[in-house]
Amino acid sequence: MNTARLLFIFSLFFQSTVATAADMPTYKLLMKDGRIHPETLEVPAMTRFRLEVKNEGPGAAEFESLELKKELVLAPGVTRNLVFFPMKPGTYKFFDDFHPETGQGKIVAK
Amino acid sequence: MGNAFFVVWRESLEAFLIAGILYAWLQANDATGKGKRALFIGLGAGVGLALLLGWALLTVQDELTGEALETFQTATLFIAAGLITQMVLWMRKHGRQMKARLHADLAAARERSGYFGVAVVAALAVAREGAETVIFLYGMAQEGDLSALLLGSLAGFAGAGATAWLAAKSLARLNIALLLRLSSILLLILASALLIAAIDRLIGAGTLPPLLDPVWDTSMLIDDTTKAGKLLADFSGYRARPALSSLLVWAAYWGVVLFAWRRTGRG
């Protein structure tokens, strides 16, 4: 009973959003061979922006950041967009969850 | 090889743990074997689902299908969290009924829905993380080093299986009351972690406002970006920099669970 109620409450929160990406600055990130290029990405603080993540392979990659609350699995050769909401100035870490040894990067919001 | 081992171990551990805990519990509480059959059917279905979802995620190239799949993944997180919670409460009730020796027909009807729940929970547990494992292994195969891949992933599966077996074995050695209590708590913590992951996805997608982000920063104590910290985050819902809405949901979840826990205890 309680679970059903719980699920219902969460279903209220739950709507799919399609990001409209035409009107915001776009940055590019390349994931290749377990590495991230560039490893430090500078973006303006308090501004919505789009990050175009491309995985050139050869393996799969997973862009992940607990701080930024993003998780995106990319098969080799796939390009996907992530929309970031205005961030406070600071440094935010992200990593390639499939290559945690080599794939570390950070976004610096200024 | 080392990387394949770690990723496969981590991705499959959750499914193995859920299966192991359920198995230990059914072993102690269900003499008919129906529950265990439901568990294995669920695990099998989960493998099929994982392959399907992995294939879908691999072939996605366009943004719109990607969004749809992401929505689907977030939904499975919510469903898994809800079902595990419901199942734990069912297990608690069920355990009490067995002790009280209620009428067999009533027990049978409740049993059937409970076993269905067991199967669905097992299937979802395997499908969720399994899909990512499928993509990871596919990617490794593209990288070309097949023998290292095979060795690493087999070792990873075996490692996760052994970890879960160890957990189930040590649970089974406890007396039934303690087994029920401990496995319930483990499953509820896991469910709350899934819920927090789902909330994070909603915040990340802009669907849910974070309200205040972060509320505090404990990354000096336990950093969730390290390997071990990430494991803790995945299995307990720990966040070094939690958003206020995550905290609220987390508190609401445990509030509802504790309330229901007391009520099933009384009933």
* Partner-chain contact B138 A17, CB within 8 Å: no
* pLDDT attached to residue A16: 37
* Partner-chain contact B71 A67, CB within 8 Å: no
* Partner-chain contact B142 A7, CB within 8 Å: no
* pLDDT attached to residue B99: 52
What's the rounded Cα separation, in Å, for the pair B63 and B204? Answer: 16
In a domain, A18, yes or no: no
Residue B173 C-alpha, separation from nearest chain A C-alpha, in angstroms: 30
Task: Pick the most confident of A20-34, B155-169, B181-195, B244-258.
Answer: B244-258
What's the rounded Cα separation, in Å, for the pair B41 and B47? Answer: 10
| Domain residue ranges in chain B | 2-266
Beta bridge partners of B165: none
* pLDDT attached to residue B213: 83
* Partner-chain contact B7 A101, CB within 8 Å: no
In a domain, A3, yes or no: no
**Domain count of the fold of chain A:** 1
Mean pLDDT of B108-129: 82
Mean pLDDT of A53-80: 89
Q: In 3D, which of B191, B195, B172, B189 has the Cα closest to residue B20? A: B172
Task: Pick the most confident of A15-19, B42-46, B65-69, B151-155.
Answer: B42-46
Q: Which domain holds residue A93?
A: 24-109
B139 neighbourhood in chain A, CB within 8 Å: 57-61, 75-76, 98
* Partner-chain contact B86 A17, CB within 8 Å: no
Cβ-based contacts under 8 A for chains A and B? 120
Does the beta carbon of B74 lie under 8 angstroms from any beta carbon of chain A?
A: yes
β-strands A40-43, A104-109 pairing: parallel
On the question of pLDDT at A14 being above 80, the answer is no
First-to-final CA distance of chain B: 52
In a domain, A9, yes or no: no
pLDDT band, residue B167 (cuts 50/70/90): confident
Q: Which of A10, A83, A93 is the mutation pick for testing B, counting most B CBs within 10 A?
A: A10
On the question of pLDDT at B251 being above 80, the answer is yes
In a domain, A16, yes or no: no
Query: For B121, how many CA atoms within 13 A lie in the half-sphere containing its CB?
Result: 33
Match 């794939």 to its residue by tokens: A103
Q: State chain B's mean pLDDT as an integer.
A: 85
* pLDDT attached to residue B7: 87
* pLDDT attached to residue B138: 85
- pLDDT tens digits along B66-104: 788 888 889 999 999 999 998 888 877 776 665 555 455
In a domain, A11, yes or no: no
Q: Which of A62, A67, A78 is the mutation pick for testing B, counting most B CBs within 10 A?
A: A67
Locate the chain B residue with the closest alpha carbon to A67.
Answer: B241
In a domain, A79, yes or no: yes
In a domain, A50, yes or no: yes
Residue A102 C-alpha, separation from nearest chain B C-alpha, in angstroms: 11
Residue B1 burial (CB count, 10 A)? 15
B227 neighbourhood in chain A, CB within 8 Å: 100
Mean pLDDT of A67-87: 88
Locate the chain A residue with the closest alpha carbon to B204.
Answer: A69
CATH, residue A64:
2.60.40.420
Find the largest Cα–Cα distance for chain A: 50
On the question of pLDDT at B266 being above 70, the answer is no
